[in-house]
Amino acid sequence: MEEYIQFVKDQINFVPDFAIVIGSGLSTMLDKVKVIKRIPYREIPNYPISTVKGHKGELIFGILSGKNVLIFNGRVHFYEGYTMRQVTAGVRLAAGLGTKNIIITNAAGAVNKALKAGDIMLIEDHINFIFADNPLRGEKGTERFVDMINAYDRDFLKKAVEVASRKGIDIRKGIYCAVAGPNYETMAELRFMNRIGIDAVGMSTVPEVIVARFLKMRVLGISCITDSIFNEGDISHTKVLNIANQCGKRIAELIESFLKEV
Ligand code: HPA
């Protein structure tokens, strides 16, 4: 077992029903959580720490809508120079504690012209454009040949759509594409992505989903659309964070209601 899993097990006796990964600027969603324990990432041996503005770094164990949750307040990205194994440490930790379900959120740019900044998109499927590496590279045995058909749990998606419509939360559904980053896309890349049916692009989530499926977890993926090159022109990290803050509140409401019913 990885050292960081044993360390956390020694700190708290808690089996999360759901792990929740909080993306860039989305930590407003923490307001509703009844916190049981916080562990800063820096206290956990061999646990990666984010270098990105807008990303905090702590594990939060708590209760949300009657469910035991383990929240990752801040994640690390491949573009920060971390290995794929480090990027997916949180997912391995969650699974190591016995977690069977994971909700992964992120900030993403719109590729589909119908999407605009501030939209919430449930991830139906993904395309992996991080060609350089894979979080399962080096795993042994046939388990590494992970089935990625319906990687995003169909029942979770259905439930999230249902809950959103009942709560009057506007949502879209679509295909998320992961790039390595840290540069944003060229216009030619965006046009290409648009043509092949990608709806949104970002720099996270896909490695985590691959490892989550490897570890037999059920996945719900939610993107906050923070910018649309086609609609708004220029993009900056500050703009991304501002929009994510607004999105965060609605995503929080969606997750809160989702957890009540699932
Ligand atoms: N591209 C890649 N990642 C992103 C974007 C984008 O336009 N917006 C937020 N994360």
What pLDDT, in 10s, does the model give residues 209-228? 999 999 999 999 999 998 88
User: How far is it, in rounded angstroms, from Cα 184 to Cα 182?
Assistant: 6
From 123, 105, 113, 124, select the one nearest 247 (Cα to Cα): 105
Give me ligand 1 centre to Cα 225, in Å: 8
DSSP H helical ranges for the chain: 3-11, 84-87, 89-96, 154-167, 187-195, 206-214, 229-232, 237-261
- Whether the CB-CB separation of 182 and 130 falls below 8 Å is answered with no
Q: pLDDT tens digits for 135-173?
A: 999 999 999 999 999 999 999 999 999 999 999 999 999
The residue contributing the CA closest to ligand 1 atom 9 is 108
32: confidence class by pLDDT, cuts 50, 70, 90: confident
Note the pTM of the prediction, 2 decimals. Answer: 0.93
Q: Amino acid identity, residue 205?
A: T
Question: What pLDDT score does 189 carry?
Answer: 93
**Is residue 207 in contact with ligand 1, taking CB distance under 6 Å?**
no
Give me ligand 1 centre to Cα 107, in Å: 7
Q: Which atom of ligand 1 is nearest to the CA of 179?
A: 2
Query: Which residues does 167 contact at the CB level (< 8 Å), separation at least 6?
Result: 253, 254, 257
Residue of 228, 238, 240 to mutate, ligand 1, most atoms within 8 A of C-beta:
240
